[in-house]
Every structure is written in C-alpha cells, then in structure tokens.
Amino acid sequence: MSEPRGSGAASTALQDRTDGPDASTDAFDLIVIGAGSGNSIVGPEFDGLRVAILDDGEWFGGTCLNAGCIPTKMLVHVADVVTDVDQGGPIGVHSRLRRPEWAEVRDRVFGRIDAISEGGFEYRDQRSPNVTVLRESFGFESLGDGARPHVLVSASGARISAPQVVVAAGSRPRPLLAAYEPDPRIQDSSSVMRLDELPERMLILGGGAVAVEFGHVFSSFGTAVTVAVRGDRLLRALDADVSRRFTEIAAERYTVLTGVSADSVDARPDGLRVALSDGTTVETDLLLVALGRDPNSDTVAAASVGIDLHEDGRISVDSEQRVLSGGRPVPGLFALGDVSSRWQLKHVANHEARLVAHNLLHPGELLSNTLSPVPGAIFAHPQIAHFGLTAAEARDQGLDVVTVTQEYGSTAFGWALEDDSSACLLVVGLDGALLGAHIIGPQASILIQPLVQAASAGTGIRGLARSQYWPHPAASEVVENALLSAEEALRERTT
C-alpha cells in the first residue's frame, strides 16, 4: 500500500503526532477532504486550529483549476479566435488561419496551471504551520456525535480524527459502460487536454456541456470531430429552442450523431472501432468519453457510516450545508461542491465554501444557503448562458407565464455580426417575476448577469430596462430589448 505523499508537515505528521483518542489516531481540530473549494475555507481565522487537508488527486487545487473550468476556457479562447476568422465570410473576411500549434497552446495553458497548483501545495505544505497536507485517500471509519470525533482511515491504515470535518471531495468523469479494454486512446475530460499530439479523428460520446466545449476546441484545431449523443439533439437539458439552435450550428462544424450510444470499443493498431447502438460503427483515432460526472461520495465511504445519499450518489445536506444521516444533521460534519451539489459548478462550490467557513466558526449563528437562481454558462461556439425555468418547465408546473425571444439580429450589435441565429429568451410570470433566462450567442456568459441580479433581488422586470442606461450599440441592448418586449407582453396579457 502507498504511503502518504508530500514533504514537510505532510510527510511527517502521522509519525510525529500521537495525541488522538488513542495512540494510533492522529487528532486534528478540523479535517477538510479535498483541495479545491474546500481548501479555500482555511483562512487566517483558522490559524489557531490544527487542520488536515486531504487530497489524493494527481494535482493539488481541485478539478476546476487542473482539469476543468480554467484550462478548458483557456483552450476555448484560442478556438474562438480561429473560429471567428474561419467564419468571417459574411462580414467580408475571407481568410483562414494556419491551424494552432497544439503543443505550444497546451504548454502555455499548463505552464500557468501547473505552477499555480504546485504553488498552492507548497504554501499549504511548507508555509501554513497549522496545516498538515495528507496526499492519500481517506474514508470514514465512524461518525462523531458531538462528544466523540469523526474518525477516518486511509488506504495504508493511517487513522485521523476531528470534531469537525468538511467533505469537499468533488466528482470524477463518469466511465464508459460499453465493453472495452483499457487503451490510451480512450480519454476523459481529466486527461484529454494534456495529449502529446492532436488526433486526426475524434469521437466524443455525450451531448452535454463538456462534450460540446471539447467539440468546439478540437474541431477548431483541425481534428475531424464526431459527437454522438443518445438524445435527439445536443444540450437537451436546456431550453428546447436554444438546444435546437445550438445543434444546427454545431452540425455545420462537425458531425453530430443523435439517438445513439456506444455498445463496444474495438482497439486496433490503426485506430478504434466504436460500435453504436443503431448498428453502425465509427472509426476514430481517439475516443473522448464525456457522459457526465459522478460524485466522490464512495471514495470517502459515506454510505458505510450511514450518511444519507441521493439516488445519484450525492451526499445529502441541509440548507446550512450540514451532512444528514437518517434525515438529521450530523454534528460537526459539512459537505460542499460536487460531492453534494446537483449543480456541479465552481461558483456554487465557492459560495458554499464561504458559508461553511462561517458555520464552522459560528455554530450558534448558522447561515443558510438561500442564493437563487443558479446561472450556468457553456463556452462553446456560440456561447450559452442560462438560469431558471424553461418555457416548457413553466408550463409543466402549471404556471401562467409570458415568453419572449429577442434575436441578436434585431440590434446594431447583431447587424455588425451578420447574426441570424443568436437570441435572448425570457420566461416571466404574470406578476413580473423573472423565472428564467436563456441566451445563445456571443458574450452570453456576460449578458446573463444583469438578469441574474434582477432575479436574485426579486425586483421583477417592470421598469428594469427603463431605469438605467444601456450602452449603444453594445451587445447588452439585446437584453434591454428583451426586457422591453417582456413588459409589453405583460401589458397585453394583464389589461
């Protein structure tokens, strides 16, 4: 079995400290499982506590930094530059760039990312005297009850305990269920960004955000991409109009196969042969599995100690982020991020970390997680941003709503782009409440924010467009005009 990795405090703590409940248990005041958003909890306010941060990952700092949000968006930026030039014909730009140099782009991305990750580990391991970093997998042996601490045990048999534990263990790529033998040409989102060289052909299994972002990246880099999805369109969980628009645009850039899944993968010297559920096969040089992510509750042995789990494996928490067992909060036990959140979004995990930090320090003044709505953004081409209900979801809930669709092409910004496919869609209750917003098009991830602010504040849409200036001729006029259209639609419905 492996020994705990690391140096300094990380490598010596379990040998030097034996002041736990018994001689074989190392006692801490706080244990944080995970070095992503959980790591941010341990600020100066915790300097008086003995803290252990547990991280058995390949990188320190969590998925977002090392294999998720940040490196993908650095790659997406390059892909956007290439695509904007390639698609410049409608505005008179008839040119094509030489394909990007993959190794140069990759090394720029991870030259920065890896330095930050290594620096974060060095700071915690060498320059945080009250923090011990243990780079090994730990699972729960027993839960505390307020009088007794929580106890965890590692793969090598090391035991640690603390009265307070935060589970921020994250999630991992969902594996391929089809029959196949392990092969380096079968990749997931954690590894595909570090390829030595680009494949000529790539098959991506999945139709969600990860699949379409990588479809954008690798197709812009010159790889012949095929995306295969079980549903009838890409991004099916989104608003139907947005999903249809995106699928049509994507199909102009790479091959989109709908209504199929993978049955088996046959590895051959000259490539992979993937048998699909409709009886067809796809020959490819690399298979990217992008079928979603699974919470890491099993890696901490949550079920074995009676922690409540959702059907999808997420740890169940209350509004204060306290872990539940038998429907009741476990004293001193919190969870945050992908291991417990249905959103699997970094900005959600960061907010939950701030809330948990407060609740650890102020057990008599617990804060609840009441932020709503939760926005999401997909950095493909075009961008998509969204929150709240779709029109179909509102109807299914029996809500009486008005919906508006504002095309980018109706604004001066849209004229500049010769845009005929981008739009802002709003779902508004008859009381003026903004129930949902869905944007597909350039700068969508930025344009969504004033709508998030309005929905979060509960101000409704009435007067929102007219109560402030909107720069002309900026992209934000799309949102302004959508709000004005929604107000007019409300007047027609309510008078």
Residues tagged active-site: 472
Alpha helices (H) along 87-172: 102-126
Beta bridge partners of 133: 53
Beta bridge partners of 315: 309
Q: Provide the token pair at 430.
A: 């008859």
Q: Are 339 and 168 in contact (CB under 8 A)?
A: yes
| Measured distance CA(301)–CA(296) in Å, rounded | 9
Q: Provide the token pair at 419.
A: 């845009």
| Measured distance CA(210)–CA(204) in Å, rounded | 10
Q: Provide the token pair at 356.
A: 């948990």
Using CA atoms in the order 190, 196, 201, 202, what is the torsion angle rounded to 10 degrees? 0
Residue 111, C-beta contacts closer than 8 angstroms, at least 6 positions apart: none
- CB neighbour burial string for 264-276, b if at least 16 within 10 angstroms, e if fewer: ebeeeeebbebbb
CA–CA–CA angle 416, 421, 427 (5° rounding): 110
For every residue of 19-78, DSSP letters joined together read -SSSTTEEE-SEEEE-SSGGGGG--GGGTTS-EEEE--SSSSSHHHHHHSHHHHHHHHHH
| Measured distance CA(418)–CA(142) in Å, rounded | 62
At what angle are helices 209-220 and 240-251 packed, to 10 degrees?
Answer: 20
| Measured distance CA(321)–CA(343) in Å, rounded | 14
Task: Give the count of alpha carbons within 13 A of 148, CB side only.
Answer: 10
Parallel, antiparallel, or unpaired for β 423-429 and 401-407? antiparallel
Q: Are 12 and 41 in contact (CB under 8 A)?
A: no
Q: Provide the token pair at 365.
A: 């003044």
